[in-house]
Chains A and B, each alone.
Chain A
């Protein structure tokens, strides 16, 4: 009896001590921390930067035409593959696969398009510097849409509703007698799809509501919006876990290229990433400086001052962290299936197979990793884009869809 009394008393003392000593309420943020939270907030996202290489980037008629093209399977060698085959609106414009599956298997994981208009570089290796030339690339890739530009130009010419929409944006449809005319129509297909993609913007997530409450100075805003674990996860995210070194800004990406030592895809050599991508984009006839671009050379600063060199071996573009819940598997070839495993990877920061892993081991505990994961799950939200843009447009719209 005496023994059990002692045990009970010790337990009570321990519990009281724990309640006293456990970290102070997670809900208090310093001014510097609030400043960081504000920088990650969706309300801090400026309008997408203008795209001088695409004269119709912000033309609503081009966006509407682009929406039709985006969902059009006849823009493929087989008549079965559209952009939406891999970029599925219901999966936040990804496909749930390790690598995209078109006619064949593509080289890398399908990234989301939401917020892509904000990125100076497209693709995991940044081998494109504008949305419209990115959109053209899969159309001719044998593993993706697998068609030819001549076929696509002839298709637009023969399909009266598309031809009409084309002419409303670009003027008279050219006679398809030579390759310059074909290239022109092909380029304009890309520019229209890009105008559509510019409308796909990230929506307000639970995290953004939480930051709104913090910024408004609400006392203990987390009680209603965020669990203790989510708040602690956010604290780690902007602090000890070093996430905001790369995942910064309202899209939670610095749009830059980093080697984080992700393992090779089964049966393949490690992907060289940016070091090869930067070479490709500099030589690309469809880049910002090329003859198909509407930009003056002075508008192509990112390309003009692009960094090259060995430190880009095995480096890939930092992806946005918004919508992680809907965009598994992760990494450039979908090598990692779950968020918990991704966090474990960064916790260990293993040796890179090629180049050098820029991250350092975090040495976080299991509980902390769970908290980080809980926080990352608060970043999902439907795009801030009207519903009519998120499905395949109806045929009627193709003829008299000028209502907006």
Chain B
């Protein structure tokens, strides 16, 4: 009985503890881990937060605590657009609140000599793409980071306060976690009867492995044959069958890395479509990227012809160009497949 009870007590403690920490972070802007992503909450404005120590640990990223006193780069990528227009300042202070991990803005506000406690300060500035600051820590210890965003239009000040440690002085909750995991594992092993199996020298066998490998054998050829062949010539029909599009390129054959234009011919059941609004996006699905340019229809030439300018492809391989056509209140998209 004691064997079962101990993990339950441990589990309860842990749930209570993490629950408390979560609450801390949510109520007052801070840094939290969400779905494997480190998120900074500047009140309701959210950003993706990463910390690097590039000279010591290269590309390894940290969410809060840092292994050593060295050059440190703090990065905030915006998940909320308002942060891109906000004047944001960034301050790092010695933790003189005595609250450690539980320090909040209220505690920071009470510090009399904030300037004296400050080890790094970056003046407010607007960084439209990403915020990054670099600071070389000279000593290990407990610090507090304070990010202040001034969202101009609303004259609102938003803050994130995140206590962190430079140079680990303890292991935090990790030992507790490991002990707990081990205890649960051992208990499961014994209770599930696997221990008995193992003792009898028999290994439970998973039939699903066979089933899934059969599935794989079946799907691979299907995917293969499903791959569409692509050709620049010909006519392309829109997804819902409303429009047909053919095109002529000013560059024949289409080469990579050269900007050129297309003349699109748009018809609906063979009839030329005029006064249509066309928009074009494209990319390489296999490589997860779009066109290197932002092409646009610049002129209607009459008789269902439209000039599409700014086309350029920067890799060989399979490309998709999606042309959305809107005319007479009917919208449909044509997917042109090209193999370069």
| A interface residues with partner B (beta carbon < 8 Å) | 36, 39, 120, 244-246, 248-249, 254-257, 261, 263-264, 266-270, 272, 275-276, 301-302, 304-308, 310-311, 313, 350-355, 358
Contact = CB atoms under 8 A, between A and B. Distances in A.
B259 A353 contact: no
B314 A310 contact: no
B134 A353 contact: no
A248 B50 contact: no
A247 to B, nearest CB: 10
A305 B311 CA distance: 8
B74 to A, nearest CB: 9
A301 B309 contact: yes
Contact of B295 (A246, A257, A269, A305): A305
B291 A246 contact: no
Which 4 residue pairs are nearest across A and B when measured between Cβ atoms?
A305-B310, A350-B59, A254-B314, A269-B132
Interface in B242-275: 256-257, 259, 261
B316 A244 contact: yes
B207 interface: no
Nearest to A249: B257
A267 B133 CA distance: 10
Contact of A248 (B54, B60, B257): B257
Contacts of A269: 73, 132-134
B304 interface: no
Contacts, number: 105
B316 A354 contact: no
B289 interface: yes
B58 A350 contact: yes
A266 B73 CA distance: 10
B59 A351 contact: yes
B130 interface: yes
A263 B315 CA distance: 25
10 contacts: A245-B287, A246-B315, A248-B256, A248-B316, A263-B58, A272-B129, A351-B61, A353-B59, A358-B287, A358-B288
Contacts of B75: 270, 353-354
A215 B92 CA distance: 63
A39 B73 CA distance: 41
B295 A353 contact: no
A107 B288 CA distance: 31
B73 A305 contact: no
Contact of B256 (A249, A261, A351): A249
Contacts of A36: 316
B257 A353 contact: no
Given A249-B256, A266-B71, A313-B130, 16 more contacts: A39-B316, A248-B257, A254-B256, A254-B292, A264-B134, A267-B136, A269-B73, A269-B132, A275-B129, A304-B309, A305-B296, A306-B293, A306-B294, A353-B50, A355-B77, A358-B287
Interface string B66-84: 0000010101010000000
A305 B77 CA distance: 26
Contacts of A267: 71, 134, 136
Interface of B: 50, 52, 54-55, 58-61, 71, 73, 75, 77, 129-130, 132-134, 136, 256-257, 259, 261, 287-296, 309-310, 312, 314-317
A272 B75 CA distance: 12
B259 A301 contact: yes
Nearest to B314: A254
A325 B132 CA distance: 34
Nearest to A310: B129
A272 B130 contact: yes
Contacts of A313: 77, 129-130
A218 B314 CA distance: 31
Contacts of B54: 263-264, 266, 353
A120 B259 contact: yes
Contacts of A263: 54, 58-59
A36 to B, nearest CB: 8
B294 A354 contact: no
A353 B52 contact: yes
- Among A246, A304, A306: residue with most chain B CB under 10 A: A304
Given A248-B256, A269-B134, A308-B294, A354 B77 contact: yes
B166 to A, nearest CB: 18
Contacts of B60: 351
Of the listed residues B58, B73, B133, B292, the one surrounded by the most CB atoms of chain A closer than 10 A to its CB is B292
B130 A354 contact: yes
B55 A266 contact: yes
Contacts of B290: 307, 311
B132 A276 contact: no
Nearest to A245: B315
Contacts of B309: 301, 304-305
Given A266-B55, A307-B294, A358-B289, A276 B259 contact: no
Given A269-B132, A313-B129, A255 B257 contact: yes
A272 B132 CA distance: 10
Contacts of B261: 301
A263 B61 CA distance: 12
A353 B73 CA distance: 9
Contact of A254 (B257, B291, B294, B296): B257
A270 B259 contact: no
A246 B288 CA distance: 14
Nearest to B52: A353
Contacts of A120: 259
B322 to A, nearest CB: 16
